[in-house]
Amino acid sequence: MEYIKIKNKDYPIIFNILAFRKFSQEKGVNDLNKIDEIFKGFSGNMGFDQMDDFVKLTMHGIKEGCRQDAKEFDLTHDDVFVFLFDDIKNQSNLKLISDILGRFTKTAGGDGPGEDTPQA
């Protein structure tokens, strides 16, 4: 499990099958084979819809990390959105989450969210 700092607080984050299942259910995708279509939207330049989806997926990873670590999840969508996209030039937080997500999906046998780091 890895940790990220949002609003001066460390949060555990893990992208496991439960985080993906909850995200998929939220998106209305019941076939995990179709989740790659969503990941393709995370590569290259993203519009607001893809940015919001990336935030939702990240939130599910943090929620799952908090569940496993028995920590309180007290972040809003806007908290995570600002964490990911506020530093538009550097985008270091966006790259960090993309790298964590890529490690999980490659370990699980997928191709990851794409070779390109998402761009806001």
Q: What is the dihedral of CA 22, 64, 93, 1, to 10 degrees?
A: -130
Model pLDDT, residue 89: 59
Whether residue 76 lies inside any domain: the answer is yes
Whether residue 75 lies inside any domain: the answer is yes
Task: Supply the range of the domain harboring residue 62.
Answer: 48-120
SS3 content of the chain, % helix, strand, coil (to 5): 55, 10, 35
Amino acid at 73: F
Model pLDDT, residue 115: 45
Model pLDDT, residue 113: 47
Structurally, the chain folds into a number of domains equal to 1
Model pLDDT, residue 88: 65
Q: What angle do helix axes 77-85 and 48-69 make, rounded to 10 degrees? A: 110
Whether residue 118 lies inside any domain: the answer is yes
Exposed (0-12), middle (13-18) or buried (19+): which is 65, by Cβ within 10 Å? buried
The structure's pTM equals 0.79
Whether residue 33 lies inside any domain: the answer is no
Low-confidence ranges of the chain (pLDDT < 50): 112-117
